[in-house]
Chains A and B, each alone.
Chain A
Amino acid sequence: SQTIHQWPATLVQPVGSPLSLECTVEGTSNPNLYWYRQAAGRGLQLLFYSVGIGQISSEVPQNLSASRPQDRQFILSSKKLLLSDSGFYLCAWSVRGGGETQYFGPGTRLLVL
């Protein structure tokens, strides 16, 4: 069966510090991968998606970036965090193609102080 891992579960970082959140998927090959952010009291906002190694599409311009160094690994990064980067970050995967069910990871709660 497929599983998706995210770490860390929680993170408290000072403004201006770097960020690296990792997501890995097991039990499937060639998945589509997604990063979402959920600010307090708001819905999920798609940040990045990837259809393959090295292929990243950004939905929202910001100080975050994403990379996919391996087929089942998706990394969210920032060189300098802002207060507005606080939120609940969720990684998800789906079978390659459109209209498919997404499976979400447990999420990382980030607080920028």
Chain B
Amino acid sequence: DAKTTQPNSMESNEEEPVHLPCNHSTISGTDYIHWYRQLPSQGPEYVIHGLTSNVNNRMASLAIAEDRKSSTLILHRATLRDAAVYYCILWPNSGYALNFGKGTSLLVTP
């Protein structure tokens, strides 16, 4: 299965934008890029996903590189409630994601 690489941790100040990177150099043409986040002691929560074009929703934006080998999750204004582990995973169009990896632990400071 195609793998992703994310930094172990990142830190941001409250009210500032956050850019969370993800590398997926072995992505295949039919893999969707999904982002989830997990707050402490809770199950993961869907954030956003895309295939080729950049995507926006009420939670975040997803910027996908032209060659699709990397993507960036953008939180426009970080809040304390955004402190979580963020997972970038590749979801085959005709299969199942296997592992979420360790993700990026985002610390937001006031």
Which positions in A face B, CB cutoff 8 Å? 32, 34, 36, 42-46, 49, 59, 88, 90, 92, 98-107, 109
Number of chain B residues close to chain A: CB under 8 A: 25
* Closest chain B residue, CB of each to CB of A32: B96
Contact present for A104 and B43 (CB under 8 Å)? yes
Q: Give complex CA distance A88, B101 in Å.
A: 15
Contact present for B91 and A98 (CB under 8 Å)? yes
Known A99-B92, A99-B93; contact A43-B100, beta-carbon cutoff 8 A? yes
Min CB distance, A106 to chain B, in Å?
A: 6
Contact present for B94 and A98 (CB under 8 Å)? yes
B68-90 interface code vs A (CB 8 A; 1 in, 0 out): 00000000000000000001000
Contact present for A45 and B99 (CB under 8 Å)? yes
Known A43-B99, A43-B103, A46-B97; contact A98-B46, beta-carbon cutoff 8 A? no
Contact present for A43 and B93 (CB under 8 Å)? no
Task: Report B-chain residues with C-beta under 8 Å of the C-beta of A32.
Answer: 96
Task: Report A-chain residues with C-beta under 8 Å of the C-beta of B87.
Answer: 43-44
